Structure 1
Amino acid sequence: MAQNYDALVRFSSIFTIVMAGVMIAAKAWAWLSSGSAAMLGSLTDSMLDVTASLMSFFVLSYALRPADDDHRFGHGKAEALAGLGQAAFISGSACLLAFHGVERLFNPVDINQSLLGVWVSLFAIMCTLLVVVVQHQVVKRTQSLAIKADSMHYKGDILLNIAVLIAMMLSHYHIGWADPVFAIGVAIYLLYNCWGIARESADHLMDKELPESEKADIIAIANSHAAVYGVHNLRTRQSGKVKFVQLHLELDDDMPLMEAHQIADEIVARIQANSEGEIDVLVHQDPVSLSVTDSANS
Structure 2
Amino acid sequence: MRLATYASTAVAALLIAVKLAAWAATGSVSLLSTLIDSTLDLGASALNLMAVRHALQPADHDHRFGHGKAEALAGLGQATFVAGSGGLLLIEAAGRLMRPEPVSHGEWGIAVMVFSILATVALVMFQRHVVRRTGSTAISADSLHYAGDVAINASVIVSLTLSMTTGWSAADPIFAIGIGGWLLVNAWQIMLGSLDTLMDKELPNTDRERIRAITQSHPEVLSFHDLRTRTSGRQGFIQLHLELPAELTLANAHRIADEVEHAILAEFPNFEVIIHQDPAGVAEPQAVLD
Quick one: distance in 2 between partners of 1:209 and 1:141? 21
How far the C-alpha of 1:289 sits from its partner, in A, is 4.5
Quick one: distance in 2 between partners of 1:185 and 1:51? 23
TM-score, with structure 1 as normaliser? 0.91
Quick one: distance in 2 between partners of 1:81 and 1:141? 21
Quick one: distance in 1 between partners of 2:64 and 2:205? 26
Q: Which residue does the alignment assign to 2:77?
A: 85
Question: How many residues are matched?
Answer: 281
Q: Which residue does the alignment assign to 1:31?
A: 23
Note if contact 2:44-2:77 (Cα within 8 Å) is conserved in structure 1: no
Q: Which residue does the alignment assign to 1:248?
A: 241
Q: Which residue does the alignment assign to 2:120?
A: 128
Is 2:220 the counterpart of 1:237? no
Per-residue CA deviations over 1:82-141 (Å, capped at 9, x if unaligned) read 111221232122111111101101122222211100110111111111112212222222
Q: Which residue does the alignment assign to 1:266?
A: 259
Quick one: distance in 2 between partners of 1:279 and 1:140? 15
Q: Report 1:164-179 matches (<5 A).
A: 164-173=156-165, 174-179=167-172
- Counterpart residue identity of residue 222, structure 1: T
TM-score, with structure 2 as normaliser? 0.93
State which of 22, 27, 37 in structure 1 corresponds to 2:14.
22
Residue aligned with 1:233, SS: strand
Q: Report 1:42-121 matches (<5 A).
A: 42-121=34-113
- Counterpart residue identity of residue 52, structure 1: A
Gaps of 5+ in 2: 283-290
Quick one: distance in 2 between partners of 1:88 and 1:259? 53
- Counterpart residue identity of residue 12, structure 2: A
Per-residue CA deviations over 1:240-279 (Å, capped at 9, x if unaligned) read 111111100000111111211121122111111221x410
Q: Which residue does the alignment assign to 1:296?
A: none
How far the C-alpha of 1:56 sits from its partner, in A, is 1.0
Quick one: distance in 2 between partners of 1:137 and 1:256? 46
State which of 207, 218, 225 in structure 2 corresponds to 1:214.
207
Quick one: distance in 2 between partners of 1:203 and 1:232? 23
Q: Which residue does the alignment assign to 2:277?
A: 285
Quick one: distance in 2 between partners of 1:149 and 1:91? 14
- Counterpart residue identity of residue 8, structure 2: T
How far the C-alpha of 1:168 sits from its partner, in A, is 1.1
Per-residue CA deviations over 1:222-250 (Å, capped at 9, x if unaligned) read 11212110111101111111111110000
Quick one: distance in 1 between partners of 2:85 and 2:267? 43
Quick one: distance in 1 between partners of 2:239 and 2:138? 24
Quick one: distance in 1 between partners of 2:262 and 2:117? 45
- Counterpart residue identity of residue 210, structure 1: L
- Counterpart residue identity of residue 208, structure 2: K
User: Identity rate of aligned residues, in percent?
Assistant: 46
State which of 145, 158, 161 in structure 2 corresponds to 1:153.
145
How far the C-alpha of 1:192 sits from its partner, in A, is 0.6
Quick one: distance in 2 between partners of 1:89 and 1:145? 17
Note if contact 2:135-2:233 (Cα within 8 Å) is conserved in structure 1: no
Residue aligned with 2:196, SS: helix
Quick one: distance in 2 between partners of 1:245 and 1:255? 24
Which is further off, 207-216 or 9-18?
A: 9-18
Quick one: distance in 2 between partners of 1:223 and 1:90? 45
Quick one: distance in 1 between partners of 2:54 and 2:72? 12
State which of 188, 193, 196 in structure 1 corresponds to 2:181.
188
How far the C-alpha of 1:145 sits from its partner, in A, is 2.1
Q: Which residue does the alignment assign to 2:33?
A: 41
